[in-house]
Amino acid sequence: RAERAAREIRAELGERAEAEGGGELVVRELDLASLRSVRAFCHRILQEESRLDVLINNAGIFQCPYMKTEDGFEMQFGVNHLGHFLLTNLLLGLIKNSAPSRIVVVSSKLYKYGEINFEDLNSEISYNKSFCYSRSKLANILFARELARRLEGTGVTVNSLHPGIVRTNLGRYVNIPLLAKPLFNLVSWAFFKTPLEGAQTSIYLASSPDVEGVSGKYFGDCKEEELLPKAMDDLVARKLWDISEVMVGLLK
């Protein structure tokens, strides 16, 4: 799918990109459900790239049945939070050397229904697919907040966002009764955002001069939004950071 998207972009830009001395579009394999894959990806990027101006942490998995990653983490927490946590930390030196630079973390409004339960982060005591998704999205915001604090004065900004409800295959694990599917399809076409519309806030935070120097904030529809107190709890954010470092092997 990535190669197909790359071909479409190259065809769309075509001669214009060459005439303007445009850059190179490359596809690199990365599996956020595998810390081994994350490390291999980052190793290659650090070998091949001299700059990293923008990192957008966008990938995710939504309300899947109970599964574990290659490293034994609950899938949603492992992919949505821990995979991005390791990825960002391994690339952080290059990002800082490229300052002014930006990190964008895609979360979800559903963070509101999540709680960080340090006694069962891996959902081995109990598992609820909706709650675990919300927890992973709350973790995204807390991660972005703590990272922004740590990067103060470096020229690197970190912001999180919710994209809204977007028509993608993110909901592939959601079971919709056969009889209800025509109605659901109608509703999704009428009210859900297209992928291009859903990407606008990420693009805004990655490139707009309006948010130059803005860090540690949360956005929706290209505007700053208020967070619930639990998403601004700096003590929880620091504890989550410390535990995540151990879980992904950055600290022994």
Q: Among residues 111, 127, 133, 204, which one is catalytic?
A: 133
Phi, psi of 31 (to 5 degrees): -115, 110
Element (H, E) at 233: none
Contact 163, 198 (CB under 8 A): yes
Pairing of strands 101-106, 223-224: unpaired
First CA to last CA distance, the chain: 37
Residue 219, SS3 per DSSP: strand
Q: How far apart are CA 109 and CA 208, in angstroms?
A: 22
Q: In what order do the strands lie in the sheet with 156-162?
A: 54-57, 101-106, 156-162, 218-220, 223-224
Residue 93, SS3 per DSSP: helix
Contact 162, 109 (CB under 8 A): yes
Phi, psi of 136 (to 5 degrees): -65, -35
Residue 113 appears among annotated catalytic residues: no
Q: Give the DSSP letter string of 130-155.
A: HHHHHHHHHHHHHHHHHHHHHTTTTT
Pairing of strands 223-224, 218-220: antiparallel
Enzyme catalytic residues: 133
